[in-house]
Chains A and B, each alone.
Chain A
Amino acid sequence: MPDLRFSEAEPSDAERLAVDGVVAELGAVVVVEGERLVYAGRARTAERRHLLLPALHAIQRTSGWISPGGLDYACRQLEVPPAEAYGVATFYHLFTHEPPEATDVVHVCDDIACRPPGALGLIDELRAAGHNVKASPCLGQCERGPAVLVQRTGDHDLTIAPGSVDGVAVAISGRTSAASVTLPQAGSPGLRLLARVGVVDPGSLDDYRANGGYRALDAAISMGPDRIIEEVSTSGLSGRGGAAFPTGVKWRGVADQQGRPRHVVCNADESEPGTFKDRVVMEGDPFSLVEAMTIAGIAVGAEQGWVYIRGEYPVATHRLRMAIDQARAAGLLGADVAGSGKRFDIDLRSGAGAYICGEETALFNSIEGFRGEPRNKPPFPTTHGLFGEPTAINNVETLLNVPAIMLDGGEAYRATGTDRSPGTRLFCLSGRVAHPGTYEHEFGITLRGVLDAAGGVVGADEPHAVLLGGAAGFFVRSEQLDLPLTLEDTRAAGVSLGSGVVMVFGEEDDMVDTVRRVAEFFRDESCGQCVPCRVGTVRQEEVLARLRDGATLDDEVELLDDLAAVMRDASICGLGQTASGAIRSALDLGLLEGAR
């Protein structure tokens, strides 16, 4: 044993088996007798520390909590200091470090999209029915709220949406999640990213191939890395995670690195309130993401791919895992990808309830088995990404664009959308629209066009307010209905498309409460690392609570502005930098005038 001190706590046999199972499945652990961390052993811990997050999941699933015995056993197996492992376990919302009150934890989303359809009432009803209920931030089921996630001990988790007392009981007894949604646009000829969703059998590689799947990989293999990157650059594809960085530039940057190994990471930690588009594709067409990642791997010369998917998506996780396994069995992943002579494989890792892990460097830390705290940039992932190695990290939606670029070429792709925003974009419609759901539109469509395509606003001609881009985005009002939803137009208007959220509020919705809930979200999801965000998000929420309780805006506005300034200018990462944007916009648009 190395020079670490472990505790005397004993694991249960089941916990021992659970941790051993993770180690057997994900990586052999070699412990050198007498190894001392102090002599560079720390570098070698990278070989096994990344097993910590899967091990914690295994303990939580087995025992219903992270018990001292289970944690200590994982620490001994993986040579992680117990204090650090405890720090990691307590970072995540889905891990508990006290003995469970019941076998099942019923997480009910009480976030902004699920409040209007009755989340708070549902929480009371479920508690009255005897469930162990936890209020949760956005669960990514916003088109059919209020959403429920049942976290089970000794069994897989379940999603129920819309949630109800009966629905939860039925799901638990049948061990079945709610069926995946049908797309409002299903069958429309113009779909690219959503073309196969609801059409193919998500569990069948053969069906995927019968519907045009894996032709893009064949094309990419014959093109070779340089041409792939050239076509992606020509296409003008930019990142869909929110920052809109040109994908071709990112891939070129990684491909040009001397260092090896290199990684492709798919950011599927979609946790922005109001966002559910990636889930819909991962549930309905998981092979497309596997294929797109494989192309990315060949392009940048990476042998290892990683999908980091939020822990609240049991169905998408299951289907993606099956797709990866089938692709590997068919020789489309592994030592010789589709006969190309190139090695590429994919590991799937689940998050455990932390919005911040969608920030790329926090995501790396989370995979590596550390707390999901963002790193300072520079250096950037291109040179110092996962495990400090060159990494191309892309959002799910960004990657989904790649197969079409391989098949039709970058020029054809560039001809769609607008000049500076080529291609199509996924939008997450929720709230007071006739047909909520995931939509695909060419860039250039106006906000009014997006609302009309979703059947228009319910009970009014125009929305009272629209949250554009999620909690990290901005509120807009009817004056902005003719705003073309492109990168350039939204930027010029001082707003952003973010993750494609279009959440519609009506006159009947309580905007003061909505804005306060946005502030609460950022307070809850701050990692706590830097002062501006850790304390600033708390003070911001306090101001909004005071406004709700009768304070006048004039007395608070200077403080609110100063809080916005320090969070925007001095926070380490995008969470703190955007934590005041939506709130500030609500204020500017007069949405808080209801506050006395």
Chain B
Amino acid sequence: MNDVPVSAPRRPVELTIDGGTVRVPEGSTILDACRQEGIDTPTLCWAENLTPVNVCRVCVVEVENSRVLVPSCSRWVEDGMVVSTDSEKVRTSRRMVYELLASSVDLDRADAEVHAWMEHYGADPGRMGDRADIATVEQPPKLQDDLYVRDYERCILCYKCVEACGEDAQFTFAIATAGRGFDAHISTEFDVSLPDSACVYCGNCIGVCPTGALVFKTEHDMREEGTWDEDAQSVTTTVCTFCGVGCNLELHVQDERIVKVTSPADHSVTNGHLCIKGRFGWQHAQS
């Protein structure tokens, strides 16, 4: 993750996307190429600071001579590839992925772009049936400590938290996917509480969660009280003072109180990830 890039200049690859010729460096993904061309592509499980797992399938595109759609986030470009990002097949699959997720998971607090894309593709989760009659992941939130809330009825199983807890950032491995099929879920061993698990409360799982399934306790409580108001929040960038590493912090402040702390995903020191001190060690500032 923090490797210094010292590779030789990369050979350009030429491909066609939606009828236009595109040149990108070898080793780029189709998603990289789409973004370079300004072709908006939805993603859920992809993040710039995590290894692609390509499980959500919302970024699928059609590649000529491929029987099935391919995930643009993790397929490398090849010379002569012919890609369509807006074919009937692509639109149907993207719409269906959103309908399947929204019919089984509570997406109310998902990133705004999720809702924008759902509207774009005309997703209508209601046609899967009355929510009371169909399978959902509805369950009460887990409140086990003063820092985190895990509200798994909002979990789309994008694996981001598992990756951030494991090899992509923290190397703590406190959580993993357990169970199988529709019963697959994120869990500690034998579902022990977080304080009894390997969790070190770095908060990196919260940092990468796209649907509000993992949140700061502060945010959860304010949402329950009805006082959470992102429009009234300011974000101040500063540097963490706990040690000499130099992690950038973004302090989210509402009514002159810090309500959560993040770090920019493109910051060269943190890649968006922090430790417990940077993430939660700010209570003294408002005591």
Chain A interface (Cβ < 8 Å from any Cβ of B):
3-5, 7, 37-38, 42, 68, 71-72, 81-87, 90-92, 97, 354, 371, 376, 378, 523-532, 534-539, 542, 546, 559, 562-563, 565-566, 568-572, 577
Contact = CB atoms under 8 A, between A and B. Distances in A.
B115 to A, nearest CB: 17
Contacts of A371: 177
A86 B178 contact: yes
16 contacts: A7-B196, A38-B171, A71-B190, A83-B173, A86-B190, A90-B187, A523-B182, A526-B181, A526-B182, A527-B184, A528-B182, A531-B57, A538-B135, A542-B134, A563-B96, A570-B60
A505 to B, nearest CB: 27
A5 B201 CA distance: 14
Contact of A97 (B68, B69, B190): B190
Interface string B11-44: 0000000000000000000000000000000000
B55 interface: yes
Nearest to B74: A376
Contact of A570 (B69, B171, B178): B69
B192 interface: yes
Interface of B: 54-58, 60, 68-69, 71, 74-75, 89, 92-93, 96-97, 100-101, 103-104, 127-129, 133-135, 156-157, 166-167, 171-184, 187-190, 192, 196-198
Contacts of B58: 531
- Going nearest first, the 5 A-B pairs with the smallest beta carbon separation are A528-B184, A81-B173, A566-B96, A5-B198, A87-B176
B96 A527 contact: no
A83 B179 CA distance: 12
Nearest to B196: A7
A568 B128 CA distance: 18
B173 A376 contact: no
A34 to B, nearest CB: 15
A319 B52 CA distance: 42
Give the interface centre of A84, A92, A523, A535 by most chain B CB atoms within 10 Å.
Answer: A535
B157 A534 contact: yes
B167 A566 contact: no
Nearest to B93: A570
A532 B54 contact: no
Contacts of A535: 100-101, 103-104, 182
Given A376-B54, A528-B177, A530-B55, A86 B93 contact: no
B68 A531 contact: no
Give the interface centre of B166, B182, B192 by most chain A CB atoms within 10 Å.
Answer: B182
Q: Is the interface of B mostly helix, strand, loop or mixed?
A: loop
Nearest to B129: A542
B127 A4 contact: no
B92 A562 contact: yes
Contacts of A92: 180
Given A5-B172, A37-B173, A570-B93, 8 more contacts: A83-B198, A84-B176, A86-B189, A90-B179, A532-B97, A535-B103, A538-B135, A542-B129
Contacts of B183: 528
A576 to B, nearest CB: 9
B128 A534 contact: no
B137 to A, nearest CB: 10
B93 A91 contact: no
A524 B14 CA distance: 43
Nearest to B70: A376
A559 B129 CA distance: 10
Contact of A524 (B68, B133, B181): B181
Give the interface centre of B57, B174, B179, B187 by most chain A CB atoms within 10 Å.
Answer: B57
Given A81-B198, A566-B97, A90 B68 contact: no
A570 B54 contact: no
A523 B104 CA distance: 14
Contacts of A531: 55-58, 97, 100-101, 156-157
A68 B58 CA distance: 37
A3 B170 CA distance: 12
Give the interface centre of A68, A71, A371, A528 by most chain B CB atoms within 10 Å.
Answer: A528
A85 B175 CA distance: 10
Contacts of B175: 83
Contact of A83 (B71, B167, B187): B187
B68 A568 contact: yes
Nearest to A93: B180
B57 A68 contact: no
A42 B167 contact: yes
Contact of B189 (A83, A536, A570): A83
A568 B196 CA distance: 42
A535 B188 CA distance: 23
A83 B135 contact: no
A49 to B, nearest CB: 12
Nearest to B170: A38
Contacts of A72: 189
A536 B96 contact: yes
A374 B273 CA distance: 28
A131 to B, nearest CB: 25
B89 A569 contact: yes
A209 B17 CA distance: 60
Contact of B96 (A38, A534, A565, A572): A565
A596 B103 CA distance: 26
Contacts of A559: 127-128
Given A38-B171, A539-B134, A528 B180 contact: yes
A533 to B, nearest CB: 8
A371 B55 CA distance: 14
A37 B167 CA distance: 9
Give the interface centre of B134, B157, B184, B189 by most chain A CB atoms within 10 Å.
Answer: B189
Contact of A571 (B57, B104, B198): B57
A7 B175 CA distance: 14
A376 B60 CA distance: 13
A92 B184 CA distance: 12
Nearest to A539: B128
A532 B100 contact: yes
Nearest to B191: A86
A238 B93 CA distance: 32
Contacts of A570: 57, 60, 68-69, 93, 96-97
